């Protein structure tokens, strides 16, 4: 288990814990800084459970025991001493909420980076590099990520498309083959229509990669899930940090594919760069 994901692991496993273990989990989530100074008897008293229950809680999150759990927690808090919460209130000045947005994004990218599995990324890049066609599916805020991905991948001489309409996704998914790859993008991981599109693509033989939170229907239904676990306040504002995180993963995949196909792409990308020059305003116009 990656220590940088410890608190998220606890939070995402709450529903699978016994009631007594959940008491420990909820106390830990509410007081992570206090735990590192506690003995097992202290945590048991504060959570109103027995010491064996604390041990069972530790094992439920893949730690050997209480000391192993404390060490993992210390490592997490040391690597991310301040978890930035993106919460804007009506009294925030433009300087305050600008700082909150940027700091939350930086914190999110750092946590996503530390939680990435290189082996999973390598498998995704390999599948994308060999694909005859790559299609990106996303709804709502994820549709803009899908469009950005399509823009990046078609430059790599890979036939690609981005769809955010349910009817078109259905027709496209049914038209795929075993040589094709779908990248399903979801910031919630719970969009039923996207889950349906994944199933249709798989029925056609396509390989499905997902960018979504762990433990969600989208990630569990895909062939190769890339977990992007981001917590942010979406009660009033649309997802911000999670969208940036998804875009960053798309960039990583695009760079990986470009590296694997570099021998084919060098001349092609140069030609594109030269072809775009006449479309740009020349500097001499401003002299």
What secondary structure does DSSP assign to 160-214, as a single string? EEEE--HHHHHHHHHT--TTEEEEEE-SSS--HHHHHHHHHHHHTT-EEEEEE-T
pLDDT at 114: 82
pLDDT at 111: 80
Cα separation of 134 and 136, whole Å? 7
pLDDT at 80: 56
pLDDT at 159: 95
**Structural domains in the chain, sorted by start:** 3-79 (1.10.10.10), 115-274 (3.40.50.10490)
Q: What's the alpha-carbon Rg for the chain, to the nearest Å? A: 22
Largest CA distance in the chain: 77
Residues of the chain under the 70 pLDDT cut = 1-5, 79-89, 231-239, 284-287
pLDDT at 51: 95
pLDDT at 87: 63
Question: pLDDT of 176-231, one tens digit each?
Answer: 999 999 999 999 899 999 999 999 999 999 999 999 988 889 999 999 999 998 76
* pTM score: 0.69
C-alpha torsion sign, points 7, 8, 11, 13: negative
């Amino acid at each position: 288990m990656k220590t940088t994901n410890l608190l998220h692991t606890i939070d995402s496993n709450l529903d699978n814990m016994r009631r007594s273990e959940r008491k420990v989990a909820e106390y830990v989530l509410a007081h992570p800084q206090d735990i590192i100074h506690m003995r097992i008897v202290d945590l048991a008293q504060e959570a109103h459970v027995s010491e064996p229950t604390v041990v069972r809680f530790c094992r439920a999150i893949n730690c050997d025991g209480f000391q192993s759990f404390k060490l993992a927690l210390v490592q997490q808090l040391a690597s991310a001493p301040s978890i930035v919460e993106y919460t804007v209130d009506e009294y925030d000045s433009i300087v305050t909420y600008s700082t909150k947005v940027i700091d939350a994004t930086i914190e999110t990218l750092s946590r996503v980076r530390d939680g990435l599995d290189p082996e999973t990324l390598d498998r995704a890049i390999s599948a994308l590099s060999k694909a005859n066609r790559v299609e990106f599916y996303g709804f709502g805020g994820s549709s803009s990520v899908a469009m950005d991905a399509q823009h990046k991948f078609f430059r790599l001489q890979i036939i690609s498309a981005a769809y955010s309409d349910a009817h078109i996704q259905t027709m496209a998914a049914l038209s795929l083959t075993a040589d094709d790859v779908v990248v399903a993008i979801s910031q919630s991981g719970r969009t039923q229509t996207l889950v349906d599109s994944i199933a249709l693509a798989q029925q056609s033989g396509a390989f499905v990669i997902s960018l979504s939170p762990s433990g969600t229907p989208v990630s569990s239904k895909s062939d190769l899930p890339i977990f992007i676990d981001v917590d942010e306040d979406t009660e009033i504002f649309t997802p911000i940090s999670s969208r940036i995180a998804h875009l960053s993963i798309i960039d990583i995949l695009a760079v990986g594919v470009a590296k694997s196909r570099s021998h084919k792409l060098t001349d092609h990308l140069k030609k594109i760069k030269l072809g775009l020059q006449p479309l740009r305003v020349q500097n001499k116009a401003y002299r």
